[in-house]
Amino acid sequence: MIEFTPIPVGFELERFGGASIDLHEWMRLRKYALEFMVGKGVNATSFTVLHTEAGFADLASHTQVKWLADHFELLCVAADEKHRHFLDIQYDGVIHRIPFEALLPDKICATLFRIGVAVDRTFGAYEAMSMYLQAAVAALPVEDARQVLGWKDSNTLHWCGAAHSPPVLRAHLEMSPEDYLAELNRLILPMPSLQFVLCAAAASTLLAYLTITEKLPADCFGVSLVGTSSTGKTTALKLAASLYSSPDDENVFTAFYGTANALHSMLGKHHGVPIAYDESTIHNAISISKAIPHKDCAT
């Protein structure tokens, strides 16, 4: 049985080094390894690739293990809304999403070197490493990553309210309305910014009601958040949009690039449903808040 999780071992592997093992240990490890042939004819080289807690290794002989690449974890395969597939790995506590094509032999070294993972380039070892990862992506389960919602707080990543979950949204999880509201409350209670955006979105419907009953001159408004990247702006806006429609519905959630006149025209068509603008700008790079009347709210 092939195991793509790291195998515990009693040795350490230095870069470009190796370790000695006995025949009993070799036989134990061999059943978790995959064998690949790199090259042709007299130049062909055999690699028996094993993923260990000490790093990726080649079971070169019955008594010797050689280093192939630094250790990283294989998390899952993710597919986005365009059915593009990625391999999620974790190295040194950081999660990286790697496109499948970046795992090909002619790209694997640059792909891993870029994130700090060293790979042996001698005798076609990197090609064997590429073949191993291609075998892994064929065997790992595919996760739904059509939506990725999260934020960063005090240098800690939070996904769906937890710091330890994989960075994929369980978009098709079914639950009762009571369970949904309980989970939503758990998510927003520690996040005043989410509470504010939800209240702002709900207030747009009240504004439409007052327009009808009190003849107010406006019946909806837009919601746009600005600030440092990866702090939860998109998460908050999608949550606000979900009060009225799917967060993927461009009628209520859009990245707006246009003119001030186009913005006013869109606002006039919504009648009580707020438009959530993500990373909004107009064509001359002036802030959206300068294009329409607005209210700044400190957080």
DSSP labels, 143-183: EE-S---EEEETTEEEETTBSSS-S---TT----HHHHHHH
The band of 69, judged by pLDDT with boundaries at 50, 70 and 90, is very high
Residue 154: pLDDT over 70:
no
Between 238 and 41, whose confidence is greater?
41
User: Over pLDDT 90: what percentage of the chain?
Assistant: 32
At residue 168 the predicted structure's pLDDT band, cuts being 50, 70 and 90, is very low
pLDDT surpasses 80 at 222: no
Phi, psi of 112 (to 5 degrees): -80, -40
> How do residues 172-182 score in pLDDT, each as one tens digit?
556 788 887 88
Mean pLDDT for the stretch of residues 181-199: 80
pLDDT of residue 88 exceeding 70, the answer is: yes
Structure token digits, residue 253: 């959630």
> Does 152 have pLDDT greater than 50?
yes
Residue 199: its pLDDT value, please?
Answer: 81
What does the pLDDT look like over 2-33, one tens digit per residue? 667 899 999 999 999 999 999 999 999 999 99
If you search the block for the tokens 């005043």, which residue do you land on?
192
> Band of the pLDDT at 234, cuts 50, 70, 90?
confident
Beta strands in the chain (DSSP E): 18-20, 34-38, 45-52, 55-61, 64-69, 73-79, 85-91, 94-99, 142-144, 150-153, 156-159, 222-224, 253-254, 257-258, 275-277, 281-282
Q: Across 255-295, where does the E strand assignment appear?
A: 257-258, 275-277, 281-282
pTM: 0.54
Position 130 scores a pLDDT of 95
Q: How confident is the model at residue 204, as a pLDDT?
A: 73
> What is the spatial distance between Cα 109 and Cα 120, in angstroms, rounded to a whole number?
9
